[in-house]
Amino acid sequence: MLGTGLVLAASAAAQQSHSVPLQGSPPAVVMPPEKSAVELMTGFGSYDAGYGVARSYSLRGIQVTDFGVLQEEALRQSRFGFSGSYGDISLTHDLSPDNYMMVGVGAGGSLLFPEARIDLAGYQKFGAQRQYVVGLGTYFAEGNQAGRSDKGLVLSGIYYGNGFVLEGGLRGNVANPGNAFGPSEYLAATFGSDDRRAIVVRLEHAKETYQILTTGTQKVDYMSNSISVQWHERITRGSLLIIGLGYYKNPSYSDKSINIGWRWSFR
């Protein structure tokens, strides 16, 4: 599939009105919502089967405006002997107290990223405290190679519990050439909040259709599994440390990765 994945706007937007303290920890002072934030991340991955290493650098900005939440990201990545950059911008806008939408556009260079991508999604809140969120999104990505493209639908859901958030989704992706169908599903859990400390665990199971390998874009037909864990630790009122570990496995190779970042919050 073409990177990057659909931005799950339900997470960012819905959490503006929810706070989930980490169970078993002392009560934390709930901070006022962010007006803006800047996040800098760097990552390193190591492949087996002779595929070498991967490196990534990203800069992300978030701005809360009268019209919605504006997010921008710039990403630089190298893997399998290729290097490239990708940038995107998205807006999450409230339609009513119970409904909101997200629209995003992006563009990139090299085989690693789409030449152009557009995302559109709508979300509905349910429950007495709006603790349930259901979303439906669609996307289209034109590849940086003749004939390559991806399109699909994403069904997602979020539940805000007492001290945790559960999130899951199903994606149906169609890759060209060949209209190859590659479904995937994921489940994520967040314990705590960025006001003090949060732990995020994410699992994904997917059918791979096209991959970028050392020889370029290759059509494949196998299942993959991945798991990632992130630790968010509030250091000061305006800064957050982020440390993540990831593991990816398919029948051809596996990848172990580590990510370290810092987030500056402006309230």
Q: pLDDT tens digit string along 213-236?
A: 888 888 999 999 999 999 999 999
pLDDT at 29 over 90: no
Does residue 232 lie in a domain region? yes
Report, as an integer, the average pLDDT of 237-244: 96
**What distances in angstroms separate CA 250 from CA 185, 220, 228, one per listed residue?**
15, 11, 15
Instruction: List b or e across 88-120, with b for residues whose CB sees 16 or more CB atoms inside 10 angstroms.
Output: bebbbbeeeeeebbbbbebbbebbbbbbebbbe
- Domain around 140: 9-22+35-266
Does residue 195 lie in a domain region? yes
pLDDT at 153 over 70: yes
* Cα 136 to Cα 70: distance, rounded to the nearest angstrom: 20
pLDDT in tens, 68-116: 999 999 999 999 999 999 999 999 999 999 999 999 999 998 999 999 9
For all residues of the chain together, what is the average pLDDT?
A: 90
Please give the model's pTM, rounded to 2 decimal places: 0.87
Report, as an integer, the average pLDDT of 161-176: 96
Does residue 29 lie in a domain region? no
82 contacts 112 by C-beta, under 8 angstroms: yes
Does residue 147 lie in a domain region? yes
Does residue 27 lie in a domain region? no
pLDDT at 30 over 80: no
Does residue 2 lie in a domain region? no
Cis peptide before 177 (omega within 30 of 0): yes
* Cα 225 to Cα 228: distance, rounded to the nearest angstrom: 11
Does residue 61 lie in a domain region? yes
pLDDT at 179 over 80: yes
Does residue 1 lie in a domain region? no
Domain containing residue 126: CATH number: 2.40.160.40
**Count of domains observed in the chain:** 1
pLDDT of residue 20: 41
